Structure 1
Amino acid sequence: MKLKMMLVAATLVLLPCGLRAEVGAQDLLNAVDKMTPDEAQLFYQKMESKFWKPLPEGFFTRMSVSVAAEGSGIAKVNPDGLSKTGGELDMKRASGGDITILWNVIDPKLRLGVELGSLLASDSKLEDGNYARMELQSGLGALVVNYQLVKRTHWYLFTQATAGVGGARLETLDTPKGQASTIRSYDASFTWAQLQAGAAWRPNPVLTLFLSGGYRFAERVDLKEGGDAHHGQLDLSGASGRLGVAFNF
């Protein structure tokens, strides 16, 4: 196979040099037709690499940066002191995004890195002139382990494990009918971990599109108001899904 690839490569080099009388385009096409699927794939990768010039080998050449949008479930958001006159609030879904930086280490299929993300959620209800609303903002930071289970030329299947810490701020607005509004703020910090599996499509050596799904396991913690705990509970555990794009260096 290597000999045949060398001959094809030599043909590509000689054609622009005025030797078309000795090696014609049809000779090149015939050589490609006789290749096995594996040889053709290697030839295609070699040709494709000519159009993408990577950075010199070093720290950044093993790095990829991805940006993803995320949707997830929420197990529990239950602050104390929120009037029920506006109806029961049920915050069950959050949306957000993250940026992840990964580096190839040891095994070409194994990547380690860091992730920074955020989640936003809100819920409100108006009932018989009573109004209640909750808004949640959460920041997440974590270490990431990514492993490519099955890898092909333009696609691969992967699994990803993430573990880190997070912080959240919850604000509530309570307006009973005919009364003044009450605004309260709560804070919480927690640990969390997430397991996901997904598929990625790589149309060229630089760009990768991916889709993944899994579950986030978050610590159930007390909400704090003014530094005092025991003002309700927060649990951001839930099923999650991500859709994103990665740039490979």
Structure 2
Amino acid sequence: MDKNSSCSHIACTVTFQDLKAEFNYSISVRPHITNVGAFGEAYIVQTCTLPPSAPPPVTKEPIPIQGAHLSNTEAEFAFSEDMFNDTNGEITHYDVLVSEDQEVAKCRQPKTWKEAHSRSPVPCYFATPSFWTPFARDPSGAEAKRSLACVSNDLRARCVLGSDTTCGPGRCNGPLKEGITYAVWIRAYTAGGYRDSPPLYTTTKKANGNGVSKISIEAFTMSIMCFLPLFITK
């Protein structure tokens, strides 16, 4: 018997650790008398399947990605498949939740994109369809990736928020508001519950009066500065 077991009179208790949920286990016993021969024949005393539960706390966080390729109503982020541990059961699907930064703690009943963006500040909403995963290994997963403009391999997904301009009344990855700081977090599900990642924060670009974003103005200004000496030397 090891340190995770104890015996009293005719009963023994054994504790098994680090077992994974949704696996079938058989527990067998082989009798042995100290200093007398070999172990006896094994017999099964119990079989069981560990039930799934919510994923354990995450060890990694989603990452915001900045870039000139994004429009004023888009934001980009990345997260890895191993951000959520599958010890408590297989990760079956994900949700991406979005809100304005000050609304994170109020997210009890997520809205649709259309309903959320009719309010100010923007409350939390689902940016993904139901039962979404960007890590699908089969062709049916292609539609899930397109719904959030995701590029992914087996371990990491890079997705664009605000890429769908054809939103209806249901879940949708519709355009974000300009110049707003959004919180974005991932919700992972098992058959026994879900766990949220910590939120990342990202601010959309804001256009000036002519509809040109600040980053475009800065890039244009830099190009003038770079070419100006050429005009002076001629």
TM-score (structure 2 length as normaliser)? 0.27
* Bigger strand fraction: 1
Structure possessing the higher relative contact order (Cα contacts under 8 Å, 6 or more residues apart): 2
TM-score (structure 1 length as normaliser)? 0.26
